[in-house]
Amino acid sequence: MQQIPEEYLKMSREELTDKINSAITKLGDDLLIIAHHYQKDEVVEFAQATGDSLQLAQIAAANKRAKHIVFCGVHFMAETADMLTEDDQHVYLPDEAAGCFMADMANDEQLRICWNDLAGKFGDTIMPITYINSTAAVKAFVGEHGGTTVTSSNSEKIVQWALTQKERILFLPDQHLGRNTAYALGIPLTQMALYKPLTGELVYEGALEDVKIILWDGYCSVHQQFTPDHIAFLRHKYPEIKIIVHPECPIEVVLASDEYGSTNRILNVVADSPEGTHWAIGTDNNLVGRMMHDPHHKIEYLNPMSCACLTMNRIKLPHLAWNLDNILNGNFTQKITVDEETTKLSNLALERMLELS
Ligand code: 13P
Ligand code: SF4
């Protein structure tokens, strides 16, 4: 992994802005810059499209024109875009160190061990489902074993479909999205087991034949910063307040909220609410901070002390300027490439999801 040259870190904001604008003009239709909703304001300013994970995957899959797709997000998102685009399209991550802590909580080797263990206990009754926040290798395993990916905006629809195909589901790596989704579909918590990849233990108190959902013990450290106490505090202070959170939050938080959903749903629910509605929002601070500029609604952080996603925050103007200069110079330093075999198997899972979405 190559470090960003010092000269970019020393440039003024004006110099960086000029550089980026000039590269955008030179590259024209060959370039597409897309950004996740958690990106910094300074980066979002240059994005031709922003979205949640599902939207960004759909944008990448639909775009056949741009030769260079600069993905301002995290590693699994750029990998997904690379797998869904044509061979002659290149996908870049402006800072290659921008990973996702949750995606790193499951690797294909752990998954293989888990799968063999579960096959011994449950036979051929399980569909593997991976949150899109996972490595390409994990997606490939899931695709190869008849499963699918999900995002926070389609998980209910897809898990519902999956349960018409198989008796039970292995959901990874986010236990919270898995639990919130299954619970919303009417599956009781007593039918959900927890698989601990570090010890290989399956935590479940009842009879094994009753298990419907096997949750991988992974989570997002950003969304674990919200608790029911934050909600109780704000409801006491502002009795009229509405709470909306991301489904990566623990179930106690989701159940104590008025609404929950993907980053895009959060934006839409707030935008469509009556003028003057007071909202507290439980998700990454970059997004909530931007929403605070909305003149029609009053917006609060659900937890003002929470940290934003550190990896999403790695991408700053110097990285974007460096990436665009590299493209102009024919240097592919920040290019993200997934090998052919992994792409083929992962796409089985991704395409199944896109069809069902
Ligand atoms: P969305 O798909 O809702 O944008 O979520 C992505 C993510 O990583 C949230 O932490
Ligand atoms: Fe990953 Fe959490 Fe950051 Fe989303 S907010 S990219 S799940 S670490």
Look at ligand 2, atom 2, and give the residue with the nearest C-alpha: 220
Name the pLDDT band for 184 (thresholds 50, 70, 90).
Answer: very high
CATH number of 225-301: 3.40.50.10800
Look at ligand 1, atom 1, and give the residue with the nearest C-alpha: 52
Indicate the SS3 state at residue 183. Answer: helix
The pTM score is: 0.97
74 in contact with ligand 2, CB cutoff 6 A? yes
CATH number of 6-99+311-337: 3.40.50.10800
Q: Which residue in 50, 55, 9 sits closest to 33, CA to CA?
A: 50
pLDDT digits (tens, 9 = 90+) for 150-167: 999 999 999 999 999 999
Tell me, in angstroms, the distance from the centre of ligand 2 to residue 100's CA: 5
Q: How high is the pLDDT of residue 2? A: 83
Average pLDDT of span 284-312: 96
102 in contact with ligand 2, CB cutoff 6 A? yes
134 in contact with ligand 2, CB cutoff 6 A? no
Residue located via tokens 């970019």: 8
Kindly tell me if the per-residue pLDDT of 113 is higher than 90. Answer: yes
pLDDT digits (tens, 9 = 90+) for 212-248: 999 999 999 999 999 999 999 999 999 999 999 999 9
Look at ligand 1, atom 8, and give the residue with the nearest C-alpha: 133
Average pLDDT of span 57-65: 94
- Cα separation, 99 vs 84, in Å, equals 19
Strands (E) in 124-225, as ranges, are 126-131, 148-150, 168-172, 192-196, 201-203, 213-216
Q: Report which of residues 196 and 357 the model is more confident about.
A: 196
Q: How high is the pLDDT of residue 39? A: 98
User: Measured on CA atoms in the order 65, 67, 72, 76, is the torsion positive or negative?
Assistant: positive
Q: How high is the pLDDT of residue 131? A: 98
- Cα separation, 204 vs 188, in Å, equals 13
Average pLDDT of span 107-112: 97
The whole-chain average pLDDT of the chain stands at 97
CB-based contact 243:279 (threshold 8 Å): yes
Average pLDDT of span 117-122: 97
Q: Which ligand is nearest to the CA of 174?
A: 2
Kindly tell me if the per-residue pLDDT of 285 is higher than 90. Answer: yes
Tell me, in angstroms, the distance from the centre of ligand 1 to residue 288's CA: 13
Look at ligand 1, atom 3, and give the residue with the nearest C-alpha: 262
Q: Which ligand is nearest to the CA of 247?
A: 1
pLDDT digits (tens, 9 = 90+) for 31-54: 999 999 999 999 999 999 999 999
- What class has domain 103-221? alpha beta
Look at ligand 2, atom 7, and give the residue with the nearest C-alpha: 220
- Cα separation, 154 vs 274, in Å, equals 26
Segments making up each domain of the chain, as ranges: 6-99+311-337, 103-221, 225-301
Tell me the two tokens of residue 130: 């991976």
Kindly tell me if the per-residue pLDDT of 275 is higher than 90. Answer: yes
Average pLDDT of span 170-192: 98
Q: How high is the pLDDT of residue 1? A: 79
Q: Which residue in 225, 233, 263, 229 sits closest to 246, CA to CA?
A: 263
Q: How high is the pLDDT of residue 252? A: 98
For ligand 2, mutation pick of 130, 306, 309 (most atoms within 8 Å of CB): 309
